[in-house]
Structure 1
């Protein structure tokens, strides 16, 4: 399997000094996707920013995993609503110009 867009969870945890159990807990809450290849667990590189944010929420602000789950679900809803607003504004501008 191609691993160019993946980072080993072991390597990630060593670099950031976090336990693997934290990443596994995020996976249990469906906050991150873990890819398994050749008996090694990987994170996708496009998830790294989100994982770093979750680490800060958990370790710096002492927010538990349930809170992180709620926060990220609300943030996804806000992003979806913002995208929908942009789409509707574009449609409205299209009809105004005609």
Structure 2
């Protein structure tokens, strides 16, 4: 089975010293996607940065999972709005340069 771009949840939890229940709870809140291959659970490596952020929110700032869900979704909305602003600025610059 191909496990390129995946990291074992067991390996991740051992490396970061977090319980597997933490990842499972993030999955229950639909904050991470768990891939199952050959009875082994994996995270996509592209999710690692977000999981690390959620770990800091939970363990360093003592934010519960409902709070992590709210903060994470708000951060995604802010990022989306920033991208939209950049697109609009680029369009405006194009039209200003065109005149």
Q: Does residue 87 of the first structure (1) align with residue 74 of the second (2)?
A: no
Give the unaligned 5+ runs of structure 1: none
Give the unaligned 5+ runs of structure 2: none
Matched residue pairs, number?
Answer: 98
Structure 1 residues 58-69: aligned runs within 5 Å: 58-69=58-69
Runs of 4+ in 1 over 6 A off after TM superposition: none
TM-score for both structures, normalised by structure 1:
0.97
Partner Cα distance (1:24, 1:63) in 2: 17
TM-score for both structures, normalised by structure 2:
0.96
CA RMSD of aligned residues (A): 0.7
2:23 match: 23
Partner Cα distance (1:27, 1:10) in 2: 15
1:2 match: 2
Listed one character per residue, the Cα deviations across residues 55-77 of structure 1 (whole Å, up to 9, x for unaligned) are: 11101111000000000000000
